[in-house]
Structure 1
Amino acid sequence: MLRSLGSGTLRSLCIRRNRSLPRAFSSATRYLEPPAADRVPDRVPLRKQLKQEAKALRSHKRQRKETAEASKEEWELTVGVEIHAQLDTETKLFSRASTSTSDVPNSNLALFDLAFPGSQPVFQAAILLPAIRAALALNCEIQPVSRFDRKHYFYQDQPSGYQITQYYEPFARNGYVDLYDYDGIAPEDGERVRINIKQVQLEQDTAKSQEYSPTTQLLDFNRVSHPLIEIITMPQIHTPETAAACVRKLQAIVLSCGAVTTGMELGGLRADVNVSVRRRGEAPGEHQYDGISGLGQRTEIKNLSSFKAVEDAIIAEKNRQIEVLESGGVIEGETRGWAIGSSETRRLRGKEGSVDYRYMPDPDIPPLIIGEDLLSSLKDTLPTAPDALLTLLVGSEFNLPIEDAKPLIELDNGARLEYYHDVVDILRSLQVDQDDKTRASLLRVASNWVLHELGGLVAKHDRAWDTEIVPARSLAHLIDQLQRNLITGPTAKLVLATIFDGDRRPVPQLLEEENLLLRPLSREEYVALAESVIAMNPQMVEQIRSKNQLGKLGWFVGQMMRTGEKGRVEAPKAEQILRELILS
């Protein structure tokens, strides 16, 4: 009878008849409960579930970090980087078709791009200009003669069945990039590390593919034959942080010299990393890459699209290889992929070698000959390198903190730095009557307003940077009025927002017409205002006096600025009066 009743029915019957069941009977009912697999799980509130997931993620990241730290002493990581960057050109590498990728799919094409029989490549000489600028900025030796090769592989995004590149004789070799502690390299790498660049080569891009379902893939051939440079570093990087810093620095350099279209964030630059590990103290590995021997078997992680992805993918692949080796396995040479938010790399295919690609000289393209006159002209017109700009900004002339100097250089492909220089030049002309010390302090003030105040408005409203949002002359006049104590800080921010919203009145006229010029309060007015605020908050006053909680004076200053006449209360004077009244 008991077995024929469900546990829920049995329990409800028993409880209705007798709420004080014998212990033996109540224990027997436990055996009648359904197995765990059949029970309905308790519902977890969404907020609790999110907290649990976040906690689990933090725990996982902490374990990964601890594992990585523990493995530093026992295992040596070696990384090489390959950067593919789209050159800033109007035409494709071997045709006059446009390089615009934002047009209608498959609209910017030449017959050669689609590998039509009988079509021939015609090298576009203008492509050499940005390519050579990039190589010179990377301290490379430009080769007087270089040649193109065919790299054979079959894939739907490559209509000819081969990619034209420069494998054997690239146009640039033997460069280097210096990474510093302010670039974000790992602490164990010290203040500076030099990464050698094996070569920089020209090659054509492939089609853009988009998968809509497991059986449907669309191809846009607008990108086919878009000119690329491939930058190949030597395998000399030994930490994930430094690898990410290397990619970041390479991008900054090629952007600063106007060689490429966009950076990683817009898809104009992609990174591949080659990762290998070997146990310290053991006999050198049998593998050799780019002339460096004694390395472990490497794997390649393809198409990383952010600096964080570079770092995270290397950490994950390093941990995977160590786990395989410690369990007695063997690392296979293969190409692997990485998805943002993932915790491990995934196998894509076996790693092809140079023999698999059957490299051969392209018989349809003559050698590329670069004259010394062209090199000399490009060297003379090369923009200042990012490191040299940084040295200038943090030096005695500008004396900016490095936290301000780096964003000025890196933001908006140099447009933010040009804007800052325009503001500074106008400010200097407005402040000719000021002493040298005051004029020197303006350089820091200007960087703060360009980066933080104006930059904050741009970010808040999700606007692209444009020097016409707030003309440099308007910002310079606003800072000049603030430095002369003709307006307060809050008023200056209000006026900046007004100009940002489109008001194009000259700043002095705007201040006059809106009655925003500072009319200083008298000492008696400050005292009266402070006394009224103090009288309303006696407990907080006592805490300041008895517990020396001076930080709360700032709260009182804020109250005085809110209750006082708008734009007339100056924070330093308000704090001075408060200190006299509360602490004296």
Structure 2
Amino acid sequence: MPHLRPATLSRYLLHGQLISRGCLRARAHAPRITASHVPLVRYLHAESTEPPSDMPPPIHVPLRKQLKEEAKKQKAAGKRKKKNVNNQVVDGWELTVGIEIHAQLNTAKKLFSAATTSFNDDPNTHVAYFDVATPGSQPIFQKETLLPALRAALALNCEVQPVSRFDRKHYFHWDQPSGYQITQYYEPFARDGHIHLRSRDGVAAEDGEGVSVGIKQIQMEQDTAKTLAQPGDVHWIDFNRVGMPLIEIITHPVIHHPATAAAFVRKVQTLLNAVDVCVSGMEAGGLRADVNVSVRRTDDPNAPLGQRTEIKNLSSFKAVEDAIIAERDRQITVLEAGGKIMGETRGWSIGSTETRRLRGKEGEVDYRYMPDPDVAPVLIAPDLVAHLRDTMGELPDAEVDTLIRDFGLSPKDAMALASLDGGLRVEYFWNVVDMLRTKLGRHAVETHITCFQLAANWILHELGRLTSERSDAPAEDLGFSQDGECIRVPAQHLADLVAHLYRREITAKVAKELLWAIFRGRVPGEYPSILDAIEKEELWFRELSDDEYAALADLAVRGQEDVLRQFVDAKVFPSGKLMFMVGRMIRLGKEECIDPKSAERVMRERIDGVYVPALKAGSFGEL
């Protein structure tokens, strides 16, 4: 912005008028910068400050689709990545990784202004004077932003500091109007934490049963504005995000394997969601990771760590692992060729095979850190910390342990259940379990553990299929509430459905159709309850007798003599051919009367006791 004359500054300070030239535009005499006053702000490298009238709106491409498209390009180009599971270690070299995670706090106000936090609202509709560095505006610390930050510190086993202070980190970029960011560099509010990662968290096999990752500090700081790149070297700037409260989680450089680094970021996201710190995760942009990567040879254990480079703004767990591997391999290649690693900031794109240089690495001197004279120290009383610790509830690790120990779930399923929908999916599971215990009798869990496992499987997998296979609606449309209820599939209806399925009163196919009817509102719309739907549509499972199964098996094997001969003298029972024959039984009979396990049992008995002996005797055609 050019130098302002005193008359222009006077209009700024005394009358609230913004100049019409440059990057900011507004109507005169605006008492507050609102949606009607500020258009979508643009940064333009060309001479004109107005975008073309025919400029198309930005097109949002889902992350999953981007990954698929990049994978297709890599395959078409003949480039194939090594599987990461076999790419965790390079002989003769040691990798060291430090991680910085930026997480947006779940608060109603920004860090230093009363402007409302916004995620999907129209651009530049929640902007206060201080957010855009209007001269004369002052930062006012919003105390409520401290509460989720403290919950994060406790979840990450940090020591909360009774006194913390804010500093200015100076740099100029169009997304930072004031020319500096307010952060906590010298005296953060939390220090000395740790997270223990277990093998079930997805750490590298080289880390064995687990590894502890130390957290150096957690600091509060402002977010920057959101930049939207447009065609023609144009950038649109949305100041709704500027000033949003962040925490930055900084680890010690103790991670040595790419998969473990990705597991750490995933675990942090799960913990922050569990204690209601974050609004969204990496997939929605609410959590971003920067990784610092260095390598050194293993032949000298006393050698210092190598020169590190930083990879900025990684937006997925896969990107964390892939970017670390690519940068590690690049550094090793440079060093083995006699080169030198430069301290720099590098970037990573989805589907890439190598990192790219962005700029030289800034250091403490470059940022000119200094205490912020306009923000008072933050004093945190011990009784507040104690209250938050006592009311934080059970953390995911303890809940996963319970699901594995008491319900016999696999670690993978238990972790998925505990983490899906920000922890709300597991609350839904507990509600369903309580209702099932009321229906089946409040015995020990072991009495009906198979039923609870069935409920967990349906909550994990069948609910997801409602929005992925038969609907274009996003998964959020299931509508999980904070008390563990689901708007589209109420816990009571799912408990009724699972109970009937567990008692073998309906088939799995009928249960899936009933679940779809619940999701579409036909229950309790057309039918008051699951029981009413089963009664009116005559969906009860009336299983065939063994004699009826045998007759169906005889019908299924007709014309399949060549298949049956593969069972004669077979050292290993050909289960694939068996299931082929069972499938013929199910297709030939009434599916709602057939239990696949019973059909398999009868077919196996008939093959061993009737069909194979008949083939050996040459009398199969007489059956």
| TM-score range for the pair, normalised by the shorter chain length | 0.7 to 0.9
> Does the alignment pair 1:572 with 2:597?
yes
Alignment RMSD: 2.1
Q: Which residue of 2 aligns with 1:6?
A: none
> Does the alignment pair 1:496 with 2:515?
yes
> Does the alignment pair 1:425 with 2:434?
yes
Deviation at 1:105, TM superposition (A): 1.0
CA distance in 2, matches of 1:520, 1:298: 67
The 5-angstrom pairing of residues 199-238 of structure 1 reads 199-213=217-231, 215-238=233-256
CA distance in 2, matches of 1:381, 1:312: 38
Moved more, 547-556 or 183-192: 547-556
Q: Which residue of 2 aligns with 1:302?
A: 312
Asked whether the 8 Å contact 2:200–2:412 carries over to 1, the reply is: no
Percentage of matched positions with identical amino acids: 54
Read off the aligned partner of 1:174 and give its amino acid letter: D
Q: Which residue of 2 aligns with 1:181?
A: 199
Give CA-to-partner distance per residue, 1:58-117, whole Å, 9 cap, x none.
2x537x998x57x73311111100000000001100111011131111111000001011
Q: Which residue of 2 aligns with 1:250?
A: 268
Asked whether the 8 Å contact 1:284–1:295 carries over to 2, the reply is: no
Deviation at 1:511, TM superposition (A): 0.5
The correspondence for 1:450, drawn from 459, 483, 491, is 459
Give CA-to-partner distance per residue, 1:162-220, whole Å, 9 cap, x none.
00000000000000011111111111111111111000000000011122245322111
SS in 1 for 2:115: coil
The correspondence for 1:91, drawn from 93, 109, 114, is 109
Give CA-to-partner distance per residue, 1:499-529, whole Å, 9 cap, x none.
2232213111110100101223233322322
Q: Which residue of 1 aligns with 2:502?
A: 483
> Does the alignment pair 1:379 with 2:412?
no
Asked whether the 8 Å contact 1:545–1:583 carries over to 2, the reply is: no
Q: Which residue of 2 aligns with 1:367?
A: 377
The correspondence for 1:79, drawn from 97, 100, 109, is 97
Q: Which residue of 2 aligns with 1:3?
A: none
The correspondence for 2:423, drawn from 414, 419, 429, is 414
Asked whether the 8 Å contact 1:183–1:245 carries over to 2, the reply is: yes
Read off the aligned partner of 2:592 and give its amino acid letter: G
Give CA-to-partner distance per residue, 1:29-62, whole Å, 9 cap, x none.
xxxxxxxxxxxxxxxxxxxxx899458222x537
CA distance in 2, matches of 1:414, 1:137: 14
Read off the aligned partner of 1:61 and give its amino acid letter: K
Aligned CA distance change for structure 1 residues 123 and 496 (closer, same or farther; 3 Å): same
The correspondence for 1:57, drawn from 75, 79, 83, is 79
CA distance in 2, matches of 1:415, 1:52: 37
Count, aligned residues: 522
CA distance in 2, matches of 1:51, 1:162: 40
Asked whether the 8 Å contact 2:220–2:246 carries over to 1, the reply is: yes
Q: Which residue of 2 aligns with 1:399?
A: 408
Asked whether the 8 Å contact 1:157–1:209 carries over to 2, the reply is: yes
Asked whether the 8 Å contact 2:213–2:255 carries over to 1, the reply is: yes
The correspondence for 2:134, drawn from 116, 121, 129, is 116
Deviation at 1:386, TM superposition (A): 1.3
Q: Which residue of 1 aligns with 2:321?
A: 311
CA distance in 2, matches of 1:471, 1:380: 31
CA distance in 2, matches of 1:551, 1:65: 30
Aligned CA distance change for structure 1 residues 158 and 390 (closer, same or farther; 3 Å): same
Aligned CA distance change for structure 1 residues 435 and 486 (closer, same or farther; 3 Å): farther
Give CA-to-partner distance per residue, 1:390-437, whole Å, 9 cap, x none.
111111x22222121011011110111011111111111111188975
Aligned CA distance change for structure 1 residues 106 and 558 (closer, same or farther; 3 Å): same
Consecutive unaligned residues in structure 2, runs of 5 or more: 1-71, 480-485, 610-623
Larger radius of gyration: 1
Give CA-to-partner distance per residue, 1:330-374, whole Å, 9 cap, x none.
111111111111111111111111111111111111110011121
CA distance in 2, matches of 1:341, 1:427: 45
CA distance in 2, matches of 1:488, 1:52: 44
Q: Which residue of 2 aligns with 1:157?
A: 175
Deviation at 1:297, TM superposition (A): 0.9
SS in 1 for 2:506: coil
SS in 2 for 1:412: helix
CA distance in 1, matches of 2:240, 2:140: 17
CA distance in 1, matches of 2:442, 2:582: 32
SS in 1 for 2:265: helix
Q: So what's the TM-score if we normalise by structure 1? A: 0.86
CA distance in 2, matches of 1:442, 1:65: 35
Read off the aligned partner of 2:327 and give its amino acid letter: E
Asked whether the 8 Å contact 1:138–1:177 carries over to 2, the reply is: yes
Read off the aligned partner of 2:598 and give its amino acid letter: K
Q: Which residue of 2 aligns with 1:544?
A: 567
Q: Which residue of 1 aligns with 2:489?
A: 470
CA distance in 2, matches of 1:164, 1:436: 52
CA distance in 2, matches of 1:273, 1:56: 29
SS in 1 for 2:214: strand
Read off the aligned partner of 2:309 and give its amino acid letter: T
Aligned CA distance change for structure 1 residues 211 and 454 (closer, same or farther; 3 Å): closer
CA distance in 1, matches of 2:453, 2:85: 38
CA distance in 1, matches of 2:194, 2:601: 55
Give CA-to-partner distance per residue, 1:108-129, whole Å, 9 cap, x none.
1000001011101111110011
Read off the aligned partner of 2:602 and give its amino acid letter: I
CA distance in 2, matches of 1:162, 1:55: 43
Deviation at 1:459, TM superposition (A): 2.5
Structure with the largest fraction of helix: 1
Q: Which residue of 2 aligns with 1:517?
A: 540
Asked whether the 8 Å contact 2:104–2:278 carries over to 1, the reply is: yes
